Amino acid sequence: MLELLHPWFLLLLPVPVLVWKFAPAYRNVEPAIQAPFFEAVAAATGQVPQEGAVVRRRSVPLMICAIGVWILLVLALAAPQWVEPPITKNLAARDMMIAVDLSGSMAEEDFVGADGGKVDRLTAVKEVLGEFITRREDDRLGLIVFGNAAYVQAPFSQDHDIVRYLLEETSVAMAGPMTMLGDAIGLAIPRFEESQSRNRVLIVLTDGNDTGSKMPPEKAAQIASQNDVTIHTVAIGDPETAGENPLDEAVLKAIADTTGGGYFHAADRSELEAIYRRLDELEPGEVESLSYRPRRPLYAWPAGVAVLVTALWHLFAAWPRRRRKAAHA
């Protein structure tokens, strides 16, 4: 689409007409040759001497060129530009970190897999989380795993394929057999401090209780709340089959309540799927769009044509004079 950046310059178009209409005529006074026999010549020809002026006849081609050049120069001053179709870039409006428990109890085979057979808890988590990650196409996602310690498996990224791949590469007890829940929350908080997103969400999935974190889970939740991080806690498995590390539902609920999140419990794969569907509703996808329309300046074209027309006119105007000089030479 063609636009003018400075359209008010078009007001200059009638200036030559106004000058021609209202400005005084150009006068060039030149001395005349005095002849002692001027009166005799005038009497012989029957002429009466009087004051006069010579008005040169206007050249129609010259007027057309002058008008055209003026229009082109004014158009160049108006800065025409070609505006391209808008280019829209979608930016993630939410940063979501997922913390997954890899303690030894995640090996308990009390979940039903996608094929209907019994699978361990971590396998079921990978299946459900993989689908959840696929649906979060508008978010930046990160992954933390924790056991004896917490580790950033994947920093925040919109490359969900790599997050899903790194989740698939995890295994039970890979980070140790214990459950450092507080340390996992504490590790996530600095990642959010580097985030520019206004929506910060941490989803913690565990099947046990904290087993000696350097930072108590309740304290970590308070710090997260101060940094505007919402924590949703997801407990999985049957506490009676978890063995030595039963679920501490009170702590998980307190973490969620402190940060304004929700607490969920899943005893099987279907309940786990329902939980992540519910999280989709609680944290709907958001996108911030930046729109930019490339602009290509075109002022050089009318300016260039004006210069070319002026040069050609002077070239053709000088040609007859050169021919006459050559003829007299």
User: Rounded to whole angstroms, how far apart are CA atoms 124 and 271?
Assistant: 11
Q: What pLDDT score does 95 carry?
A: 85
Alpha helices in 203-299 (DSSP H): 217-226, 249-259, 269-282
Give start-end residues of each CATH 3.40.50.410 domain in the chain: 89-289
Please give the Cα distance from 185 to 216 (Å, whole number).
9
Q: How many CB atoms lie within 10 A of CB 288?
A: 13
Two structure tokens written together for 319: 């040609």
pTM value surpassing 0.85:
no
H or E stretch at 289: strand 287-292
> What Cα–Cα distance (Å) separates residue 123 from each residue in 113, 119, 152, 313?
8, 6, 20, 84
Per-residue pLDDT of the chain (329 residues; tens, 9 = 90+): 888 989 999 999 999 888 888 888 767 666 766 777 777 777 787 777 766 655 566 677 878 888 899 999 999 999 999 888 877 665 556 788 999 999 888 888 877 766 777 888 898 889 888 888 888 877 889 999 999 999 999 998 889 999 999 999 999 989 888 889 999 999 999 998 877 777 889 999 988 788 888 999 999 999 999 999 999 999 886 655 544 566 778 899 999 999 999 999 887 778 888 888 887 776 665 555 556 778 899 989 999 999 998 888 888 877 766 666 666 65
**CATH number, domain 89-289:** 3.40.50.410
Cα R_g (the chain), whole angstroms: 42
> What is the rounded CA–CA span in Å between residue 290 and residue 85?
14
